[in-house]
Amino acid sequence: MTFLARRFPDADLPWVRLGTGPTPVRELDGFWVKDEAGFGDGGWGGNKVRKLEWIIPELHRRRRGVMFTVGGIGTHWGLAAALYGREHGLRVVLGLVDQPVDDHVREQTRRLDASGADIHRFRSVRSLKRTAPLLLARYADGLRLPHYVPAGGSTAVGSLGYVETALEIAEQVRAGLLPEPATVVTAVGSGGTAAGLTLGLRMAGLRSRVLGIVVNDAFRLDAVTIARLADQTAALLRTRGALVEERIGPRDLVADASWLGETYGALTPEAEEARAWAADQGLELEPVYTAKALAAIRGSALDGPVLYLQTHGPR
């Protein structure tokens, strides 16, 4: 049973188990880490699987057999959606946009090609947007169009995965496994993880503040947009029968884009240094998201205790 189901037993919140929690917490050099790498019982893990636990049953609820979603050519989200969607009877169509290519992106591309998804590649977001209506029509089942899920699974439904995780963190704090964090740091590539955390920490009664390290410049990602998604998630919970009183605004979190580098997917020296340091601590990071979030922790004076949410889940 989920923490949300325990809190709201009469709410209509369909969920499917795709991973096993709680994920572990431990103290490193001056901060704590919650390692999501092991979450996910299939071919990929991490934060994308947390979102899919709520998104996949939502498609079944709507009687949609095709999921259409988007990302870069090295997308972790697209890979997780393809693998878990197929396991649960969905056809997954991916619209992928070019990004800077390194060894990590090449390996992800290989995995995506073997995932069973229908893949369409584009040179720019603009060309993807122009073609998307044709793709939706092409993969329609009669009058039933594919269900579109934005990049990263960052919808109100997907964000429930990190409302749930925030409640899990609160339970670990109550159990004495870590101190109540003053700052919770996570990478922000589409906003859903940070939005869900912000709402969930408030619902749990923790005073923790989310610091989102923005790693994507393809669309607007700031405290306003993340808070709006958090508030939409709270509204969704209310419409499904959960008594959620919290309202989220931009002052409830911080979004910092100063660790992005030249553009989405670009390597930075600080992130590469953080990635090498993490490997010595037994953490496998990737250069686009999680290494930049860790670089921010190591390069900033943050209010502590600090909790780093490690969201990468390689297999």
3-state secondary structure of 77: helix
Nearest to 304 by CA among 213, 128, 190, 182: 182
Same domain, 235 and 95: no
Q: Quote the CA–CA distance of 96 and 72 in Å, as a whole number.
A: 5
Give the max Cα distance, the chain.
57
Same structural domain for residues 192 and 279? yes
Q: Which of 108, 206, 201, 192 is nearest to 153 (CA)?
A: 192
Q: Which amino acid is at 20?
A: T
Domain end: 153, 182, 198, which one?
A: 153
Residue 54 in domain: no
Judge if 222 and 291 occupy the same domain: yes
Asked, for residue 188, whether it belongs to a domain, the answer is: yes
From CA 146, how far away is CA 132, in angstroms rounded? 11
Same-domain check for residues 258 and 117: no
Q: Is 82 part of a structural domain of the chain?
A: yes
Alpha-carbon distance 48 to 8, whole Å? 24
Whole-model pTM: value is 0.96
Same domain, 131 and 241: no
Q: Are residues 135 and 197 in the same domain?
A: no
Q: Are 172 and 178 in contact (CB under 8 A)?
A: yes
Within a domain: 14: yes
Q: Within this chain, do residues 131 and 169 fall inside the same structural domain, yes or no? A: no
Residue 97: inside a domain, yes or no? yes
Same domain, 29 and 100: no
Give the helix ranges, DSSP H, for 204-268. 223-239
Range(s) of the domain holding residue 207: 3-49+154-313
Pairing of the two strands 91-97 and 32-35: unpaired
Last residue of a domain, one of 153, 179, 195: 153
Residue in this structure with the two tokens 């490193």, named with its chain if needed: 28
> Do 41 and 73 belong together in one domain?
no
Q: Judging by DSSP bridges, how do beta strands 147-149 and 66-72 pair with one another?
A: parallel
How would you list the strands of the sheet with 66-72, edge to edge? Answer: 118-122, 91-97, 66-72, 147-149
Boundary (domain end) residue, out of 153, 188, 219 = 153
Residue 292 sits in the same domain as residue 169: yes
Q: Is residue 129 part of a domain?
A: yes
Domain membership flag for residue 259: yes
For residues 95 and 112, membership in a common domain is answered with yes
Other residues' Cβ atoms within 10 Å of the Cβ of residue 29: 8
Q: Report the distance separating Cα 124 and Cα 164, nearest Å.
A: 34
| Domain CATH for 144 | 3.40.50.1100
Mapping DSSP to helix (H, G, I), strand (E, B) and coil, where does residue 131 land? helix
Q: What is the pLDDT along the chain (315 residues), one digit of tens a residue?
A: 999 999 999 999 999 999 999 999 999 999 999 999 999 999 999 999 999 999 999 999 999 999 999 999 999 999 999 999 999 999 999 999 999 898 989 999 999 999 999 999 999 999 999 999 999 999 998 889 999 999 999 999 999 999 999 999 999 999 999 999 999 999 999 999 999 999 999 999 999 999 999 999 988 999 999 999 999 999 999 999 999 999 999 999 999 999 999 999 899 999 999 999 999 999 999 999 999 999 999 999 999 999 999 999 988
Residue 170 lies in a domain: yes
DSSP 144: B
Residues 148 and 231 in one domain: no
How many independent structural domains does the chain possess?
2
